[in-house]
Amino acid sequence: MITHPNCKINLGLHVVGKRPDGYHDLETIFIPVHDFCDELEITPATTNSPFPTIIQEGIALDNNPDDNLCMKAWQLLNNAFSIPPVQMRLKKNIPFGAGLGGGSSDAAFTIKMLNEMFSLNLTAEAMESYAARIGADCPFFIGNQTAYATGIGDELTPVDFDFQKLGLKVVVELPEGEHVSTREAYANIRIKDRKSRPDLREAIFRPIAEWRDLVINDFEDSVFPAHSAIAALKEDMYNRGACYASMTGSGAAVFGVFKINQ
């Protein structure tokens, strides 16, 4: 079984408070980008080992393969259902440390694939519950539909928004050699008053020419001073005719929204 876990972008990202557990409360719009994907293949194991295996291809990852989130997804379901071991092959195209949710997507797609392979009959809600134990944005990739996310990014409300219906397309790029850790991005974040911010669910339905002042990623203020190449890429997107451009997540990727005929 082969599937293609896609990435996501954040359309606006507000950091609105710090929680007692040390995490931050967020408000953002998650939008799936279906043409920027990894490749994930899962097949039954051919050895007698009770453990799964994974082969990582494509972009080199800085983790031990056994720590891959796909392996963690298998372990979660194995703990609950004693599923058979599998062989996984993951070809990474989505860079890590880019704010695109690639690892979370891989894990969520693993859950969905294992649910189908072993007829676990898990509901979407149940799969989201397992996914939430892997990463805050992991549940989003179960439904994989545009959603307004709150909490730490795990509380999702569907939003009826589609760039294509507006005659727009998304272009995602990453400055060469740039990587932003989540710890770095949060180190200098400034929490702003929620009441002074536009509601993103309303802002994205305003004319796109107004988005520069309405649809803001708070992490740009904390990331751009130390990563001028990311700021430069955003400006370059505008120079190339983007209707709107922004860093996604906590960086380092930037996306531009262009008219489809551009």
Average pLDDT over residues 107-123: 98
The pair of three-digit structure tokens given for residue 44, joined into one six-digit string: 């039954």
Average pLDDT over the chain, rounded to an integer: 94
Average pLDDT over residues 242-259: 96
pLDDT at 262 over 80: no
Q: What is the DSSP letter of 157?
A: E
Instruction: Please report the pLDDT score of residue 136 as a whole number.
Output: 92
Tell me: the pLDDT tens digits for 182-197?
888 888 888 877 777 8
- Can 8 be counted among the known catalytic residues? yes
Instruction: Please report the pLDDT score of residue 186 as a whole number.
Output: 85
Cβ neighbour number for residue 205 with a 10 Å cutoff: 11
Give Cα 5 distance to the centre of its chain: 10
**Pick the catalytic residue: 8, 92, 112, 234?**
8
Return d(Cα 47, Cα 207) in angstroms, integer: 57
Instruction: Please report the pLDDT score of residue 48 as a whole number.
Output: 85
Tell me: the pLDDT tens digits for 185-236?
888 888 877 777 899 999 999 999 999 999 999 999 999 999 999 999 999 9
Instruction: Determine whether 10 is exposed, middle or buried from the number of CB atoms within 10 Å of its CB (0-12, 13-18, 19+).
Output: buried
Tell me: the pLDDT tens digits for 19-49?
888 788 999 999 999 999 999 999 999 888 8
Please say whether the beta carbons of 9 and 170 come within 8 A: yes
Instruction: Please report the pLDDT score of residue 120 as a whole number.
Output: 98
Please say whether the beta carbons of 158 and 124 come within 8 A: no
Instruction: Please report the pLDDT score of residue 175 as a whole number.
Output: 93
Instruction: Please report the pLDDT score of residue 212 as a whole number.
Output: 95
> Domains of the chain, with CATH numbers?
2-157 (3.30.230.10), 161-259 (3.30.70.890)
- Can 169 be counted among the known catalytic residues? no
Tell me: the pLDDT tens digits for 40-84?
999 999 888 889 999 999 998 777 878 899 999 999 999 999 999
**Pick the catalytic residue: 38, 106, 112, 137?**
137
Instruction: Please report the pLDDT score of residue 96 as a whole number.
Output: 86
Instruction: Please report the pLDDT score of residue 157 as a whole number.
Output: 97
**Torsion angle, alpha carbons of 128, 253, 187, 19, to 10:** -20
